[in-house]
Amino acid sequence: MSLLAVENLSVSFHTRHGVVRAVQDVSFQLERGQTLGIVGESGSGKSVTCYSIMGLVPQPPGRTEAGRALFDGVDLLSCPRRRLNRIRGARLSMIFQDAMTSLNPFLRIGDQLIEPLMIHEKVARPAAIARALAMLDAAGIADAERRLKMFPHEFSGGMRQRVMIAMALITKPDLLIADEPTTALDVTVQAQILELIRKMQRELGMAVILVSHDLGIVAGFCDRVMVMYAGRVMESAPIDDLFYDTKHPYTRGLRNSIPALQMKGGELHVIPGQPPDPHHALPGCPFAPRCAQAVDYCATEEIRLLETAPNHRTACLRVQKEGMPV
Amino acid sequence: MSAAALLQVQDVKTWFPVDKGFLFKRRVGEVKAVDGVSFSLRQGEILGLVGESGCGKSTLARTILQLVRPAAGAVLLEGRALTALRGASLRRARSDFQMVFQDPYASLNPRMTVFDALAEAMLAHRRVPRRELPGRIDALLEKVGLSPQARRKYPHEFSGGQRQRIAIARALAVAPKLLVADEPVSALDVSIQAQIINLLARLSREMGLALLFISHDLSVVKHISNRIAVMYLGRIVETGPAAEVIERPLHPYTKALISAVPIPDPRREAHRARILLPGDPPSPLNPPGGCPFHPRCLYAQPRCAQVVPSLEPFGQSGRQASCIRMREIDI
């Protein structure tokens, strides 16, 4: 049994301006110790997917329209709140882009760090503090004893991110969901934080879901990648296949529009147009209006994510019907 | 400094006072946000300025644009010292240098249509006859890749990438010679980012516009620039032709910065030696003595803590770096 199996997840937001279908029919599996990257641009549904797994989508306006998220056999979407709370923070943790929003500015770092231990593992305070010290140390925070008594605002951005990671991992979770964990950081600090997550993953043997808009980060970090666009999964494949045997035109467009350091200058490849307006769902493939390979049936037929090569799934109709090489 | 330089920045220092106390304020020090920066920029040239947050790149941009005044040094545009201009003469000179910011929504007036925003700029600076306005504005919109129908719309009706096009059009409305773009693509999605980068490069080429392109993203800077300048803690630590700086960096900081940039290629990423710099960039309030980079530098020696290095020329292609060990270490 997979550690996490998400099946046909659909999430909508019911707003005054209409229904936004943020996530549609998303399915994936994650094994223990594995790393899954979810890549997409803003509004692609990558964060909403993770938030709904964590039960963090406010309902209303959000609504889980369909689907299950089986974590070790327990459906996180339908299980009672109390049961969910026992899993979250203990076996399932999440870190965010902005550490300041997940740390309480009024509490000392030490008190925040030991809270999950005292709640989930009923550890006594002195023992919890000892573990917090060890965790800060492992997270690369020097002088941990003094740091425990400090408040979040006394830390730099990179340090806060380390504290947040220490807090998320202190209960030794089976799965860490990292939503753009380095987007707000400078590149040299980003490299430190990614290395830290990698190290902790090795030590704890946990699975990681890394949400990012940056294909470069995913390339160096993940076993498998899922590319999302307009709430749908466009392509899902092992990391090498996604980069060297790209099937979906969107994935290829995304890859080619990154100005890579090794590339020579000149015109960057451009995906024409804009992402679709989420309020006005159009029939057919959501990428069709921007796709150079689109043919008439792309604008009318429903897309489905299907396996087109071993372990490699894509939602492109032309790849499915004609085996189109891109 | 070449004679053809359009913009000359000469030993500019921008310091901000740090006061303590509420009723009895006293000066306790200075943040040396920009601390002795010199460079020049030719017509049609694109200089990419990179550095991490707090390195002073935005303050440098604001100093060049005369939005903050330097404590020392001079900024010359076509030989004229902008730093000496005041009041109306500075306002008139502003049509020669324009800017584009990171967040186009914050730099466009939400209550003005695109037409009004562009017309305002044109009328304020160039006294374009009113009847010529529609034609000029359509031409300008076309130049930045927007349709003439955009004229009647308000900023909120556009997506982020289109708004940035409007901000660029507004900057170009007064026919500037220098454009300073501060993180112009950082708020945009990758697929849109590429559109704006291509647009800026094309405009610079076609209009002979000098472009100072500021970004924290080394790959973006390398892609668009002819030359690169790397800033650290208020100083330029390395500068030179873009490809050379990226392929054979001279300064250990440049090298660390390059090695930290993720490569969108899993096989290359897997076989890559990454330099992990220890610690965070130091605070400009309390900079380390000697070379500002020495506490994090892998090649630092005791003398690096004593000697303040200056930018020294290297080779024949106009490269410069400020590292006293640049000739002895092989990085």
The answer to whether the beta carbons of residues A10 and A64 sit under 8 Å apart is yes
Mean pLDDT of the B320-325 span = 94
What are B31-41's pLDDT values in tens digits?
889 999 999 99
Distance separating the N- and C-terminal Cα atoms of chain A: 34
ipTM of predicted complex: 0.79
CA distance A162 to chain B (A): 12
In chain A, which residues have their Cβ closer than 8 Å to the Cβ of B298? none
What gap in Å lies between CA B7 and CA B76, rounded to an integer? Answer: 6
In chain B, which residues have their Cβ closer than 8 Å to the Cβ of A190? 260, 262
Tokens of A309: 């090569």
User: CB contacts < 8 Å between A and B, how many?
Assistant: 128
The two most distant CA atoms of chain B are separated, in Å, by 69
Q: Which of A217, A254, A262 sits opposite B190 (nearest CB)?
A: A254
**pLDDT higher than 50, residue B246:** yes
Indicate yes or no: CB of B198 within 8 angstroms of CB of A158: no
Element housing B74 (H / E): strand B72-77
Element housing B256 (H / E): helix B252-260
Question: Does A202 contact chain B (CB < 8 Å)?
Answer: no
* Residues ≥6 apart with Cβ < 8 Å to B256: A188, B275, B277, B296, B298
Indicate yes or no: CB of A159 within 8 angstroms of CB of B280: yes
pLDDT (tens, 9 = 90+) of chain A, 326 residues, equals: 889 999 999 999 998 888 889 999 999 999 999 999 999 988 899 999 999 999 888 888 889 989 999 999 899 999 898 999 989 888 999 998 888 778 899 999 999 999 888 888 888 999 999 999 988 888 888 888 888 999 998 888 788 888 888 888 888 899 999 998 888 778 888 888 888 899 889 988 999 999 998 898 999 899 999 999 999 999 999 999 999 999 999 999 998 888 877 666 667 888 888 888 878 878 899 999 999 999 999 999 999 999 998 999 999 999 998 887 65
Indicate yes or no: CB of A243 within 8 angstroms of CB of B277: no
In chain A, which residues have their Cβ closer than 8 Å to the Cβ of B53? 157, 186
Indicate yes or no: CB of B191 within 8 angstroms of CB of A258: no
Nearest CA in chain A to B261: A187
CB-count exposure of residue A281 (10 Å: 0-12, 13-18, 19+) = middle
* Residues ≥6 apart with Cβ < 8 Å to B196: B161, B164, B165, B168, B184, B185, B188
Indicate yes or no: CB of A260 within 8 angstroms of CB of B263: yes
What are B262-292's pLDDT values in tens digits?
888 888 888 888 888 887 777 777 888 899 9
Peptide bond preceding B155 in cis form (omega within 30 of 0): no
The number of residues in chain A equals: 326
Q: pLDDT-derived band of residue B304, with 50, 70 and 90 as boundaries?
A: very high
Question: Does A270 contact chain B (CB < 8 Å)?
Answer: yes
The answer to whether the beta carbons of residues B312 and B322 sit under 8 Å apart is yes
The number of residues in chain B equals: 331
Indicate yes or no: CB of B260 within 8 angstroms of CB of A190: yes
In chain A, which residues have their Cβ closer than 8 Å to the Cβ of B254? none
What are B103-140's pLDDT values in tens digits?
877 888 999 999 999 999 898 876 788 888 999 999 99
Question: Does A263 contact chain B (CB < 8 Å)?
Answer: yes
Across-strand partners of A10?
A66
What are B55-77's pLDDT values in tens digits?
899 999 999 999 999 999 999 99
Question: Does A223 contact chain B (CB < 8 Å)?
Answer: no
Average pLDDT over chain B, rounded to an integer: 90
In chain A, which residues have their Cβ closer than 8 Å to the Cβ of B189? 41-42, 213, 275
CA distance A88 to chain B (A): 31
Angle in degrees, CA A39, A43, A47, rounded to 5? 55
CA distance A121 to chain B (A): 33
The answer to whether the beta carbons of residues A174 and B244 sit under 8 Å apart is no
Tokens of A124: 């006594």
The two most distant CA atoms of chain A are separated, in Å, by 67
Distance of CA A299 to the CA centre of its chain: 29
Tokens of A207: 């699975």
| Residue B94 phi, psi dihedral angles, 5° rounding | -60, -20
Distance separating the N- and C-terminal Cα atoms of chain B: 28
pLDDT given at position A326: 53
In chain A, which residues have their Cβ closer than 8 Å to the Cβ of B264? 215-216, 219, 243, 255, 258, 260
Indicate yes or no: CB of B224 within 8 angstroms of CB of A262: no
Q: Rounded to 10 degrees, what is the CA torsion of A283, A284, A290, A296? A: -110
| Residue A187 phi, psi dihedral angles, 5° rounding | -60, -40
Number of alpha carbons in the 13 Å side-chain half-sphere of residue A43 = 15
Nearest CA in chain B to A253: B191
Nearest CA in chain B to A252: B191
Indicate yes or no: CB of B223 within 8 angstroms of CB of A268: yes
Indicate yes or no: CB of A189 within 8 angstroms of CB of B258: no
Residue by residue, DSSP assigns A153-222 as: GGS-HHHHHHHHHHHHHTT--SEEEEESTTTTS-HHHHHHHHHHHHHHHHHHT-EEEEEES-HHHHHTT-
Buried b (16+ CB within 10 A) or exposed e, B31-46: bbbbbbbbbbbbbbbb
Region at B77 (left for phi over 0; alpha for psi -120 to 50; beta for the rest): beta
Question: Does A189 contact chain B (CB < 8 Å)?
Answer: yes
Angle in degrees, CA A169, A175, A180, rounded to 5? 80
Q: Which of B189, B194, B246 sits opposite A261 (nearest CB)?
A: B246
What gap in Å lies between CA B65 and CA B82, rounded to an integer? Answer: 9
Indicate yes or no: CB of B52 within 8 angstroms of CB of A239: no
What are A142-152's pLDDT values in tens digits?
888 888 999 99
pLDDT given at position B2: 47
